Amino acid sequence: MPLPDELSYTDGAQVACGFGTCYEALEKIGISGNDAVLVTGLGPVGLATLMLAKALGARTLIGVDVVPERIELAKKMGLVHHSLPFDERTLDLVRELTGGQGCERAIDCSGKEDARRLAVRATRKWGKIALVGEGGSISFNPSPDLLHDQKTIHGSWVTSIWLMEDLVERLVAWKLHPEALVTNRFPLEKADDAYRLMADGRCGKVAVVFDEELR
């Protein structure tokens, strides 16, 4: 796939995994200016989801995580209107922030059971949920949590070539750069340090890059 001159290699690398993954999910559930959007899990994929949902015109963006550094990063980057820690009050807070109704759209990027359940329960009637985070499990009460409110859950995994081509075109039009999520860069010989930092979960995207991109 040709990389436009406007995008860097670090931008392009994230189109295939990360931005492409969440773009696929957002296309499935649809985002418009009518929507309050909840994202659970503010790692690189969650931050990318917020960035794209904002570009697609979502009226309210709410992010939830258990890691304070990720909550602060989402705020610092201006990707959320509300960034919340996860605890027993989070569901009530999301409903308060949405006039008691819940969000029109929710995307779980954490793969954690409690976060997935929050995404389902914090979605309003006729709303749509996308599960993107890998692993884990989920349990909920189908009748009150899903059936009675006519909600829809979509599973979404990676993306297609044609949607990546569409995403690249849109990134240029929106003047968006995925590399804005990169908080740390490492040369190839320090890849072990890069993986160690990423596993700690207290940063944004970590990139292993060539010398000319180190700064």
Place of tokens 């995008």: 7
Global confidence as pTM: 0.96
The confidence score (pLDDT) of residue 113 equals 97
Long-range residue pairs from 142-150, CB within 8 A, at least 24 positions apart, any chain: 145/117, 145/120, 145/121, 146/120, 149/123, 149/124, 149/125, 150/125, 150/126
CATH placement of domain 9-155: 3.40.50.720
**Rounded Cα gap, residues 154 and 177, in angstroms:** 27
**Rounded Cα gap, residues 115 and 130, in angstroms:** 12
The confidence score (pLDDT) of residue 17 equals 84
Question: Could you give the 3-state DSSP secondary structure of residue 133?
Answer: coil
The confidence score (pLDDT) of residue 215 equals 61
Q: Please answer whether residues 129 and 106 qualify as being in contact, where contact means their C-beta atoms are separated by less than 8 angstroms.
A: yes
Place of tokens 């914090």: 122
Could you give the count of Cα atoms lying within 13 Å of 65 in the half-sphere of its Cβ?
Answer: 25
Q: Please answer whether residues 22 and 107 qualify as being in contact, where contact means their C-beta atoms are separated by less than 8 angstroms.
A: yes
Q: Please answer whether residues 116 and 41 qualify as being in contact, where contact means their C-beta atoms are separated by less than 8 angstroms.
A: no
**Rounded Cα gap, residues 207 and 123, in angstroms:** 34
DSSP per-residue string spanning 52-101: HHHHTT-SEEEEEES-HHHHHHHHHTT--SEEEE-STTHHHHHHHHTTTS
The confidence score (pLDDT) of residue 1 equals 86
Q: Where does the chain show beta strands of DSSP type E? A: 36-40, 60-65, 82-85, 103-108, 123-131, 152-155, 182-186, 205-208
The confidence score (pLDDT) of residue 212 equals 67
Question: Could you give the 3-state DSSP secondary structure of residue 108?
Answer: strand
Taking the mean position of all CA atoms in its chain, how far away is CA 158? 13
Domain positions in the chain are 9-155
The confidence score (pLDDT) of residue 155 equals 96
Low-confidence ranges of the chain (pLDDT < 50): none
